[in-house]
Amino acid sequence: MSTPFRTAEGGRIDRATTLQFTFDGRSLTGHPGDTLASALLASGQHQVATSIRLGRPRGISAAWAEDPGGLVQVEEPFPEPMLLASTVELFDGLVAHGLPGQGRLADVPDSARYDAVHHHVDVLVVGAGPAGLVAALGAARAGARVALVDEQSEAGGSLLSGTDRVDGVPALDWVADAVAELARHPEVLHLQRTTAFGVYDDGFVLALERRTDHLGAAAPRRVSRQRVWRIRARSIVVATGAHERPVVFADNDRPGIMLARAARTFLHRYGVLPGREAVVFTTNDSAYDAALDLARAGVQVQAVVDARPAGSPQRRAECERAGIRVLSGSVVTGTEGVERITSALVAPFTDGEVGAASVIPCDVLLVSGGWNPAVHLFSQARGRLRYDEVLGAFVPGEELDGLAVAGSAAGVLDLAGCLADGQRVVRAALSALAIVPAADDRLPSAPEPVVPAAPLVLWRVPDTSEAHARTQFVDLQRDATVADIARAVGAGLRSIEHVKRYTTIGTAHDQGKTSGVLTSGITAELLGIPVQDTGTTTFRPPYTPVAFAALAGRDRGRLFDPERVTALHDWHVAAGAVFEDVGQWKRPRYYPQPGEDMETAVLRECAAARTGVGIIDGSTLGKIDVQGPDAAVLLDRLYTNMMSSLKVGAVRYGVMCGVDGMVIDDGTVLRLAEDRFLVLTTTGGAAKVLDWMEEWVQTEWPDLRVHCTSVTEQWATFPVVGPRSRDVVGTLFPDVDVSTEAFPFMTWRDTALDGVPVRLARISFSGELAFEVHVSPWYAVAVWQRLLEAGRPYGITPYGTETMHVLRAEKGYPIIGQDTDGTVTPHDLGMAWAVSKKKPDFIGKRSFARPANQDPRRKQLVGLLPVDRHTLLPEGSQIVEFVADGELPPPPVPMLGHVTSSYRSAELARPFALALVKGGRERVGDTVHVPVNGTLVPVEVTGSVLVDPEGARRDG
Amino acid sequence: MAELLRTHPLEAWAAALAELPDEVRITPEPFVAMVDVRVPAAASEGLAVRGTPLPTAPNTWTPTADGRMVWLGPDEWLLTSTGTVPHLLEEELRDQLRPVGGTAVDVSAQRIGLRISGTRAREVLAKGCSIDLHPRAFPAGRSAQTTLGQAGVVLLSLGEEGFAVLVRSSFAGYLASWLLDAGLEYVPLG
């Protein structure tokens, strides 16, 4: 429970409130404002886990997302793997443990909500550090629509880690004022805990906002836990700061070794000392701040080890005043300790030669090898990077349209410079958008920077020992070392992309934030080529890991895919329908009565339609209004058969083919007027056929005076089917003469029901006498109920898609897309009669003359009757030649075709099937075999029409 | 016989939608006659339909005496009318437009309207619509054919009065549940 490394005062934590949490089974405490990492360090714990391959102890080595070491698994409140202790905000009741590289997904559904929001701005600023805040203020003051996103829990960026002053006041006071001012601008969206993780074309940026993660179990359930912001920005300012870079040396992975800036962050932001005795190893001036700050906070700074021969004269003087020893021209060559560093090995470093090492005891070793600008988003936007010899880092190497980099992300490493750069960059962005900066947009002041001594670029401490190379870690998470890079180079790999994949460096959760540039540098060194030529691996989204749950957002459960329903849906539900998904439509498949399974329900429904009367909701049928003087011309070109000869009042079945002559859709066409047709398509083909029509009208035949309009949902459609359908329709619509003579097959009549227009059509998809009733869906429920009332004396039976399929299959009516597969012609379906020989041309016609189309061995639609009269052939079953001994010969067994539809028939009192069979029509009467569950089932090939082949029933 | 009753596609959703707080008011619009009007672009300039000139600026709509005229394409409009019986409106427009090569189709039941208003209206729509709905970009009189969630919609800006959403009737239930879900975070825990 003790936190011996917590400072007495300071930091951005709420010391008045204590939070309880459990790590690796230990009960610990922290405060609001802590991360899991800072709370662990406060208790004196550096080690978080052991490494994935070598099992070496690993600890917290950075204070944010660049940490390669501190991976944890959260268990409570909800299991989540692969989080970083340094980015998990502490909350009461957190239970977590360290992870050796691999976590465990929750085995229960995530009950948290996730969502997404689209947002549009003139200027998006990524990063609320000094440059980003100045940029956001400049854009906001100009009246622009602005979004400012920053991944930390509060604004300030690098200012949170130090003791800087801006405008003569503590920097964080200035930050607070800036944040308050932004909040007053109505067109500013300021989001903290929000990581811009991907930049895409045309100013599109994805950002992940962690809205309630930090609240733990107290998170409000109705608020999304995380939100993906889909931001479209006219201009993007990337002010993402820089990552400190380590230097590689032997045994550089022990707990207690961390980046110098991270130590300042833990001290100033969290009020935590990283240890009692520190050694600071640096190649540049910035780490001196860590040494001086820690010394002031009471840490014994044993030495600053500066690799530069002359070190930094001015910083050396500061250190001497503070009583800190500075060893210039020295490097750390190794460390000692197991679960925690106990000492650093320090040796003179002259002209690239490392001398004999001496031992300096310490419990923390701070390292700084310079700074890598966080160019990730710039690079994702395809910005070219340039290697800066002085910084030893890659910086933006060109100007991009609509995206500019400001502050340390552009390689500006001093505060005054970052503030000025933020203003310069946003003004350029505003200017490109023709937005005038406000007159009161003032640049805040910061102390004139002391010019730092030139940094030294040092990727790794020279070491000729092969054994040492195996503990010179480059990517701590992957346990990948200098020896691994050497092996990659030795194997002949020169491309940094290949080295990455060979060594796996940069492929862990941190995506190489600390190891990437090191790898470029060390590879260049080993190859003896300039670092610029090595380059970096490609930066790809996401910048930090994003949970799939966040990307899925609200598109899950019932909202995963829209459920389309007809006007009768609630009636179907109340009637106990079992639904089937047909595309996005929910269609009743059958209506089981108590005790019925699908088979019995369907047999009952089929019998009703064949012997009495049935009714089905066919409203999902696609419907297209084709109107204009050239409507008939268009349909003649689209259908294989003639439509222009159709009389007003009549209906014709038609088949549509693609340019390859293969059937793409079928349906009926009603001629409503000389210049107007109603085209009925399959349920699934509705949108496709309308697009098809538009494509031809718009691109090939713009001269045709015709318009096509979807009316699928303008008409509810109820086929009333069966020998008693005439009685039902005649009862409900007494003013229509429903006799065969007055209302023949394939005609339609308009009528009305209580003043509401109704269209009746004698169309049959079952072979039975049938009337389609078309009415506006506004009145669908009322008309459906009236039909049921009128049909009650005849036992009218609602039926679903399964019965519809059986009835049509018994008549050999194909379903396009089930009995066809894009390689089937009308002739293959036995529909040569539906292919006009008179029309000069229509889509698909030329293909019918191809020799392949004339081949008598083409697969043709036939019926199949299992000889045993009881086997239901599984749809998709293969069909093979009859084998006398009933044993399937060894493969390959030539395939004759496959079963496309298969049902039990009430009418035939046996199962039957439709199938595509090679030369099928020639084989009618033959017996073939269908392997079913390892047994060869003999089936008889028949014509495709199994019920009422004479068509005697269609008129009742 | 009794008069035939009409059934609104969102009847079952009305109660749940009414529970939303004032910040997000979602109200199904009543049935209205809607006709899809096609006029060759060349003939549409200055052409008045039922007294209102066809709007020719893309993605706009104009009010009419008893409804709206929505631009859907260079030669396509959606005319709505609260005062006319759908099939009679179709007939009237067919007769008027035939001489200029135009057509008219009753599509009254194809779509249903929803009114979305309140201080959070834009925020709720932004959860599933990628179009910029800020008043600077989408002022009153603007329209868009876009997707909301996964439903295709015609979206109209009504200015201060919020937005009108026209959605395919078969998608109305999906959209209503999507909107209720989107508005959930503004519903106080009661």
DSSP state string for A75-133: EESS-EEEEETTTSB--TTEEEEE-SS-----SS---S-EEEEEEEEEEEEE--SHHHH
Q: Is B48 within 8 Å of chain A by CB?
A: no
pLDDT at position A485: 97
C-alpha to C-alpha distance for A314 and A332, rounded to whole angstroms: 22
The reply to whether domains A111-242+371-448 and A275-364 share a CATH topology is: yes
Cβ <8 Å between A776 and B108: yes
Asked whether the predicted pLDDT for residue B2 surpasses 60, the reply is no
What CATH number does domain A809-837+851-942 carry, 3.40.50.10860, 1.10.1370.40, 2.40.30.110, 2.40.50.140? 2.40.30.110
Residues B38 and B103 in one domain: yes
C-alpha to C-alpha distance for A488 and A504, rounded to whole angstroms: 11
Cβ <8 Å between A777 and B173: no
Nearest to B173 among A220, A222, A565 (CB): A565
Structure tokens at A441: 């947009």
CATH number of the domain enclosing B119: 3.30.1360.120
Arithmetic mean of pLDDT, A600-609? 96
Residues B124 and B58 in one domain: no
Peptide bond into A542 cis (omega under 30): yes
Sort out which chain A residues have CB atoms less than 8 A from B123's CB and list them.
117
The minimum CA-CA distance between B65 and chain A, rounded to whole Å, is: 24
Q: What is the pLDDT of residues A780-827, one digit of tens each?
A: 999 999 999 999 999 999 999 999 999 999 999 999 999 999 999 999
For testing contact with chain A, the best of B1, B3, B4 (most A CBs within 10 A) = B4
Residues B131 and B171 in one domain: yes
Sort out which chain B residues have CB atoms less than 8 A from A627's CB and list them.
38, 103, 105
The minimum CA-CA distance between A204 and chain B, rounded to whole Å, is: 11
Sort out which chain B residues have CB atoms less than 8 A from A567's CB and list them.
7, 9, 169
Structure tokens at A192: 């903290």
Residues in chain A, total: 956
The CATH code for residues A612-619+715-794 is 3.30.1360.120
Residues B113 and B179 in one domain: yes
Picking from B57, B75, B107, the residue at the C-terminal end of a domain is B107
CA distances from A565 to A522, A618, A625 (A): 62, 12, 21
Q: Predicted confidence band at A466 (pLDDT cuts at 50, 70, 90)?
A: confident
C-alpha to C-alpha distance for A315 and A327, rounded to whole angstroms: 12
Asked whether the predicted pLDDT for residue A863 surpasses 70, the reply is yes
For testing contact with chain B, the best of A118, A586, A712 (most B CBs within 10 A) = A118
The superfamily in CATH containing domain A459-534 is BFD-like [2Fe-2S]-binding domain (1.10.10.1100)
Amino acid at A929: H
Q: Domain A622-710 belongs to what architecture? A: 2-Layer Sandwich (3.30)
Residues B36 and B130 in one domain: no
Asked whether the predicted pLDDT for residue A615 surpasses 50, the reply is yes
The minimum CA-CA distance between B84 and chain A, rounded to whole Å, is: 14
**pTM for the whole structure:** 0.94
Task: For chains A and B, count residue pairs whose Cβ atoms are closer than 8 Å.
Answer: 134
Residues B119 and B177 in one domain: yes
The residues pairing with A242 across neighbouring beta strands, listed in sequence order, are A373
- Tell me which residue of A832, A403, A768 sits closest to A615, measured CA to CA: A768
Sort out which chain B residues have CB atoms less than 8 A from A714's CB and list them.
105-110
C-alpha to C-alpha distance for A55 and A47, rounded to whole angstroms: 12
What CATH number does domain A1-109 carry, 1.10.1200.10, 2.40.160.40, 3.30.470.20, 3.10.20.440? 3.10.20.440
Cβ <8 Å between B109 and A778: yes
Q: Is A713 within 8 Å of chain B by CB?
A: yes
Q: What is the pLDDT of residues A325-384, one digit of tens each?
A: 999 999 999 999 999 999 999 999 999 999 999 999 999 999 999 999 999 999 999 999
Q: Which of residues 610-649 of A touch B (CB under 8 A)?
A: 625, 627-629
Arithmetic mean of pLDDT, A694-716? 97
Q: Dihedral of CA A745/A748/A750/A753: which sign?
A: positive
SS3 state of residue A44:
coil
At residue B104, φ and ψ (nearest 5 deg) are: -145, 135
At residue A915, φ and ψ (nearest 5 deg) are: -150, 155
Q: Please indicate, yes or no, if residue B4 is contained in any of the structural domains.
A: no
**How many other CB atoms are there within 10 angstroms of residue A698's CB atom?**
9
- Tell me which residue of A120, A117, A97 sits closest to A25, measured CA to CA: A97
Domain that holds residue B150: 12-31+109-185
Residues B62 and B78 in one domain: yes
Cβ <8 Å between B4 and A561: no
What domain count does chain B have? 2
Residues B127 and B167 in one domain: yes
Q: What is the pLDDT of residues A439-465, one digit of tens each?
A: 999 999 999 888 899 999 999 999 888
Nearest to A714 among B3, B75, B106 (CB): B106
Amino acid at A901: S
C-alpha to C-alpha distance for A100 and A86, rounded to whole angstroms: 16
**How many other CB atoms are there within 10 angstroms of residue A300's CB atom?**
15
Asked whether the predicted pLDDT for residue A925 surpasses 60, the reply is yes
Cβ <8 Å between B171 and A117: no
For testing contact with chain A, the best of B77, B87, B170 (most A CBs within 10 A) = B170
pLDDT at position B15: 95
SS (H, E, C) A466-508: HHHHCCEEEECCCCEEHHHHHHHHHCCCCCHHHHHHHHCCCCC
Asked whether the predicted pLDDT for residue A775 surpasses 50, the reply is yes
Q: What is the pLDDT of residues A470-510, one digit of tens each?
A: 999 999 999 999 999 999 999 999 999 999 999 999 999 99
Cβ <8 Å between A115 and B182: yes
Residues in chain B, total: 190
Cβ <8 Å between A585 and B170: yes
CA A387, distance to chain mean position in Å, is: 34
Sort out which chain A residues have CB atoms less than 8 A from B6's CB and list them.
778-779, 782
Q: Please indicate, yes or no, if residue B154 is contained in any of the structural domains.
A: yes
Q: Which of residues 142-161 of A touch B (CB under 8 A)?
A: 145
Q: Please indicate, yes or no, if residue B2 is contained in any of the structural domains.
A: no
Question: Is B86 within 8 Å of A778 (Cβ atoms)?
Answer: no
Arithmetic mean of pLDDT, A546-558? 95
Contacts of A698 (CB under 8 A, 6+ apart): none
Arithmetic mean of pLDDT, A79-105? 94
The ranges assigned to domains in chain A are 1-109, 111-242+371-448, 275-364, 459-534, 612-619+715-794, 622-710, 809-837+851-942
Arithmetic mean of pLDDT, B123-128? 98
Sort out which chain B residues have CB atoms less than 8 A from A119's CB and list them.
126
Q: What is the pLDDT of residues B49-90, one digit of tens each?
A: 999 999 999 999 999 999 999 999 999 999 999 999 999 999
CA A447, distance to chain mean position in Å, is: 46
Nearest residue in chain B measured CA to CA from A757: B87
Cβ <8 Å between B109 and A782: no
In A585-685, where does DSSP find H-type helix?
598-611, 631-638
What CATH number does domain A111-242+371-448 carry, 3.60.15.10, 3.50.50.60, 3.30.930.10, 3.40.630.30? 3.50.50.60
SS3 state of residue A508:
coil
Arithmetic mean of pLDDT, A535-546? 94
pLDDT at position A956: 85
Which residue carries 């401490």 as its tokens?
A461
Q: Please indicate, yes or no, if residue B5 is contained in any of the structural domains.
A: no
Structure tokens at A481: 């070392």
Cβ <8 Å between A778 and B6: yes
Structure tokens at A521: 């540098």
Sort out which chain B residues have CB atoms less than 8 A from A585's CB and list them.
170
Residues B39 and B92 in one domain: yes
Which residue carries 């009269």 as its tokens?
A869
Q: Is B99 within 8 Å of chain A by CB?
A: no
Cβ <8 Å between B126 and A119: yes
Sort out which chain A residues have CB atoms less than 8 A from B119's CB and list them.
none
pLDDT at position A829: 97
Arithmetic mean of pLDDT, A295-317? 96
pLDDT at position A464: 83
Q: Which of residues 136-175 of B touch A (CB under 8 A)?
A: 136-137, 149-151, 168-171, 173-174
Q: What percent of chain A has pLDDT over 70?
A: 100
Asked whether the predicted pLDDT for residue A1 surpasses 60, the reply is no
Picking from B92, B107, B122, the residue at the C-terminal end of a domain is B107
Residues B113 and B181 in one domain: yes
Cβ <8 Å between B110 and A564: no
Query: Mean pLDDT score of chain A, rounded to an integer?
Result: 96
CATH number of the domain enclosing B94: 3.30.70.1520
Q: Please indicate, yes or no, if residue B47 is contained in any of the structural domains.
A: yes
At residue A673, φ and ψ (nearest 5 deg) are: -160, 170
Nearest residue in chain B measured CA to CA from A560: B150
Residues B17 and B44 in one domain: no
Structure tokens at B127: 């959860």
Q: Predicted confidence band at B3 (pLDDT cuts at 50, 70, 90)?
A: confident
Residues B128 and B142 in one domain: yes
Topology, domain A275-364? FAD/NAD(P)-binding domain (3.50.50)
Arithmetic mean of pLDDT, B104-122? 97
